[in-house]
Amino acid sequence: MKEQIKDKRTAILKAALKLFTERGFHGTSTAQISKNAGVATGTLFNYFPTKEDLINSLYFEVKGNLSHAMGNGLEAESTFQDKLKKIWSNLVNWGVENQEEFLFVGQFCSSPYITKFTRDEVMKEYIFLHNLVDEGIKAGKIRDFSAELVIAMFYQSSRTVVNFILDSDSSLDENKVSEDGFQILWRGLVKE
């Protein structure tokens, strides 16, 4: 029984992700999501009482998946630069490999439909990045900027690189573009 409940919830979230990225929040009705998920509209409301609840749940899940991907293999890195580069590579690769999720995060990261509670809970998933940046600043590895600004620049720069890769032809060397993007960011951060 629990498996069936999880399957319906997952189907609803997948359908919502697809439709929100294609049509936006206002252009997507709960009836469309239900139909795409293969469930009754009443079933959707059993899991998510409002469309806003659905979007917040989806945002929380996608951002959680992203944070796990970003931290993958981080423990194997020894230097500050290598750790930051690993997070960068993981983020860029995730964006290229998970285009719908990437688009969703970009569309809704500043959305008024994402509650403060959801944003605060999601940010707990990224404490490892905040701690790493704080350590880099305190150790003098990077300039004494606001950690929040560094993280925002890190994220927006990675979005630019992912979009560049997605918008380019297939002959593009994605690893080189990712490396070049990191070097641009790194040179702006590192103390001279």
Average pLDDT over residues 12-36: 94
In percent, the amount of the chain with pLDDT more than 70 equals: 97
Rounded Cα gap, residues 132 and 114, in angstroms: 26
Amino acid of residue 51: K
Q: What integer pLDDT is reported at residue 175 of this predicted model?
A: 94
pLDDT in tens, 114-123: 888 888 888 8
Rounded Cα gap, residues 125 and 65, in angstroms: 10
Query: Are the CB atoms for 91 and 66 separated by under 8 Å?
Result: yes
Domains, the chain, ordered by start: 1-49 (1.10.10.60), 52-189 (1.10.357.10)
Average pLDDT over residues 43-57: 94
Q: Full-prediction pTM beyond 0.85?
A: yes
**Averaged pLDDT of the chain:** 92
Task: Tell me, letter by letter, the H, E, C secondary structure of 96-126.
Answer: HHCHHHHHHHHHHCCCCCCCHHHHHHHHHCC
